[in-house]
Structure 1
Amino acid sequence: MKRIIAIALVAALPTFAAAQEEEGDGFSLMEEGAKLFLRGMMDEAEPALEQLQRLMQDMQPAMREFVQEMGPALNDLLGKVDDLSNYHAPEMLPNGDIIMRRKVPMSPEPDEGEEIDL
């Protein structure tokens, strides 16, 4: 959040500079007001950012374990699913199975030993 506020302040500086050239002493009041406003926003956001940082640090071991256990299975799944835009959103069946239906069904591939009548 501090970075966002700092970027916003840096982006606004040319506007403030133009206002100073036009208004002279009035710019210092605008500048001071903007500084106070942004400082207040940073002070309010700081506890939430610290809490988010602690939460991320607490979640890091669990996320690493999840990636280690589920990574190979997810890679296999992505190998079977070509482009996710070809599928509808996943849906859960009453028995708990989760399915992903294709938007346009694939034509069945013939078996190697099966003959095709033309």
Structure 2
Amino acid sequence: MKRILLISTISMFLAAPSMAQEDSEKSLMEQGAELFFEGLRKEMEPALENLLGLAEELGPAMQSFLQQMGPALAELAAEVKDWSVYEPPEILHNGDIIIRRKPTQEPSEPEKRDIEVPEGPTDI
């Protein structure tokens, strides 16, 4: 009994460093995911830099637009209760923008169909 206890204790101490090493290593799935996201980041980096440059360029113009048009848009939003009853905006050839109301659909009466009933006995 003492030998089994001694052998199990020694084997446990010998196995502890290998178990710690397994915990610190990443699985193939984790390594693959890291490589995938690293490649994605490298591919998207130029597009993100262009987007940041565009935001810096258009930022002051957008702030000016919102300062001037913000109150008018707020009034319009307060007057319109339900935007779902309107068609998407249309820009006419002369530059006018119109927003049409969707046509209302009145419930129509269901069509009555004449059903011919065969004469004679029927097997059900």
1:1-118 equivalence runs, <5 A: 28-104=27-103
1:53-84 CA distance string (max 9 Å, x none) = 12112211111000011112212222332211
Q: Which has the larger radius of gyration?
A: 2
Structure 2, gaps ≥5 residues long: 1-24, 105-124
- For 1:62, give the aligned amino acid: A
Give the whole-Å Cα distance in 1 for the aligned partners of 2:47 and 2:78.
Answer: 39
Q: Which amino acid aligns with 2:96?
A: D
Greater relative CO (CA pairs within 8 A, separation 6+):
1
Aligned length: 80
Quick one: distance in 2 between partners of 1:98 and 1:54? 31
Report how far residue 94 of structure 1 moved.
4.9
Cα RMSD over matched residues?
2.5
Structure 1 unmatched ranges of 5 or more: 1-24, 106-118
